[in-house]
Amino acid sequence: MRYKKYFLPTLKDAPSEAEIISHKLMIRSGMVKQSSAGIYSWLPLGFRVLKKIEKIVREEQVKSGAIEILMPTIQSADIWIKSGRYDDYGKEMLRIKDRAGRDMLYGPTNEELVTEIFKSYISSYKDLPKNLFHIQWKFRDEIRPRFGVMRGKEFLMKDNYSFDLNFDAAKESYNNMFRCYLRTFLRLGLTPIALKAESGAIGGNLSHEFQILAQTGESTLYYDKKLENIDPSTADIEQLQKYYAAVDDEHDPKTCPVEKSQLKISKGIEVGHIFYFGTKYSEKLNAFVQTKSGSKIPVEMGSYGIGVSRLVGAIIEAYHDDKGIKWPKQLAPFFVSLINVNINDEKCNQVSEEIYNNLNHTNIDVLYDDRDVSLGVKLSDSDLIGIPFKIIIGPRDIKTNQVQIEERLTGKKFMLSINDAYNYITNEMKVFSNSDN
């Protein structure tokens, strides 16, 4: 992408209503624009990151056996009346009437709708288990939208729903999603902490929240340091639950099994939440399945949510410095910033174009800064928007065929020949693409 042709409106200052660093940086780097309280447009840079997060979330869902569908944002009130949640949900639900006067709503979650879909097509134990997911916008009329996309009214959620014949199978689905969540967050570069949670409005008796550590989080967490070292691809649920973690109102220093030196206290942001709720919805909405012996029983369900748009802010909370965002490579909107120091220098232009074309051919996302602005502005914009690598092409260096490489995450700077620079970047790209799978 050529910067001059692109749409990347960076700002020097953040608006005063932005309280936390991720919100400030998202606005300053031109990722989002607020359209009204808690509702945002995603500008090109923000949209790219949102899609990268979505892709990782999707891949991990598919790997764990969930099947993608897409349900609408607007739902009929009827099914919510049947489940009993139409009144319970209260003012967070955005209620709408269509032209015929029918009560509709903008979905805050999808248990009812997915149960309706399930029961229309599946009625036998032979077709179980099933696990359906979608990645769709939700609306909750939050009383206090804040922190930018982290607590919005309209937000993107990945939600999935498991359907099983009995409790044991449902528990297995739950544990499977538990592991899937840990893997997902690790792939996003985050340290997930799983905590037993109250299941709240969605209801039920087994629930975990997934929190990531961040100073600006809304919850206080107490946990065993060892949790940070668990490899979820090899860990089982028992092992994961062996280590202590609690939110502050559940933490009691008298009964806490963790030694003081092993106990960590930190703030957390909730990025995911999973629930097992049994037959709560299937009974109310009549989703019954036939067992092997011929009897009909309500299907066992669980639901699982990840805040995809919240993650954009949460990840910035974990990856930034005083210059701006420091994207983990797998999420960066561009992998390389190609900085042409002097657009009036023929050699600089020629080498920049050459590197630009080569990187494009290798499918490496490159932002070519071809603007007629000072080097200082180019460098600080690149730092602000958090691109992992810079290739800097300056008139003096280029006389000896050298370019400078800068790494955003480590701050490392070094000179390489043009050829080695290209190889270095393609190699970095390979290293991180391989580690994804």
Footprint on this chain of ligand ATP (rule: CB under 6 A): 109, 140, 142, 151-152, 155, 157, 270-273, 305, 307, 309-310
Reading the block at residue 255, the tokens are 């009964």
Q: Smallest gap, in angstroms, from Cβ of residue 227 to ligand ATP?
A: 18
Residue 159 or 300: the one with the smaller Cβ distance to ligand ATP is: 159
133: left (phi over 0), alpha (psi -120 to 50) or beta: beta
Task: Say which residues have a Cβ less than 8 Å from residue 29's Cβ, sequence separation at least 6.
Answer: 10, 45, 324, 325, 384, 385, 386
Q: Smallest gap, in angstroms, from Cβ of residue 319 to ligand ATP?
A: 18
Residue 137 or 424: the one with the smaller Cβ distance to ligand ATP is: 137
Residue 37 or 415: the one with the smaller Cβ distance to ligand ATP is: 37
Q: Smallest gap, in angstroms, from Cβ of residue 280 to ligand ATP?
A: 15
Backbone angles phi, psi at 418, to 5 degrees: -55, -45
Q: Smallest gap, in angstroms, from Cβ of residue 40 to ligand ATP?
A: 10
Residue 52 or 208: the one with the smaller Cβ distance to ligand ATP is: 208
The one-letter amino acid code at 148 reads G
Q: Smallest gap, in angstroms, from Cβ of residue 72 to ligand ATP?
A: 18
Q: Smallest gap, in angstroms, from Cβ of residue 17 to ligand ATP?
A: 17
Residue 280 or 310: the one with the smaller Cβ distance to ligand ATP is: 310
Give the β-pairing of 154-164 and 300-307: antiparallel
Q: Smallest gap, in angstroms, from Cβ of residue 200 to ligand ATP?
A: 6
Instruction: Give the Cα separation of 10 and 28 in Å (integer).
Output: 5
Q: Smallest gap, in angstroms, from Cβ of residue 212 to ligand ATP?
A: 10
Q: How many CB atoms lie within 10 A of CB 239?
A: 12
User: Are the CB atoms for 122 and 163 separated by under 8 Å?
Assistant: yes
Residue 307 or 388: the one with the smaller Cβ distance to ligand ATP is: 307
Q: How many CB atoms lie within 10 A of CB 389?
A: 24
User: Are the CB atoms for 132 and 158 separated by under 8 Å?
Assistant: no
Residue 159 or 397: the one with the smaller Cβ distance to ligand ATP is: 159
Q: Smallest gap, in angstroms, from Cβ of residue 412 to ligand ATP?
A: 34
Residue 23 or 151: the one with the smaller Cβ distance to ligand ATP is: 151
Reading the block at residue 405, the tokens are 């490489």
Residue 138 or 326: the one with the smaller Cβ distance to ligand ATP is: 138
CA atoms within 13 A on the CB side of 105: 26
Residue 59 or 218: the one with the smaller Cβ distance to ligand ATP is: 218
Instruction: Give the Cα separation of 181 and 274 in Å (integer).
Output: 9
Q: Smallest gap, in angstroms, from Cβ of residue 367 to ligand ATP?
A: 28
Reading the block at residue 27, the tokens are 């606005």
Q: Which residues lie across from 288 on neighbouring strands?
A: 298
Q: How many CB atoms lie within 10 A of CB 296?
A: 9
Q: Smallest gap, in angstroms, from Cβ of residue 228 to ligand ATP?
A: 20
CA atoms within 13 A on the CB side of 412: 9
Which residue, among 411, 260, 270, 385, has the nearest Cα to 327 in the 3D structure? 385
User: Are the CB atoms for 424 and 405 separated by under 8 Å?
Assistant: yes
- Indicate the length of the chain as a whole number: 437
Q: How many CB atoms lie within 10 A of CB 419?
A: 11
Residue with the shortest CB distance to ligand ATP? 307
Task: Say which residues have a Cβ less than 8 Å from residue 121's Cβ, sequence separation at least 6.
Answer: none
Residue 307 or 324: the one with the smaller Cβ distance to ligand ATP is: 307
Task: Say which residues have a Cβ less than 8 Å from residue 314's Cβ, sequence separation at least 6.
Answer: 22, 150, 190, 212, 214, 269, 271, 307
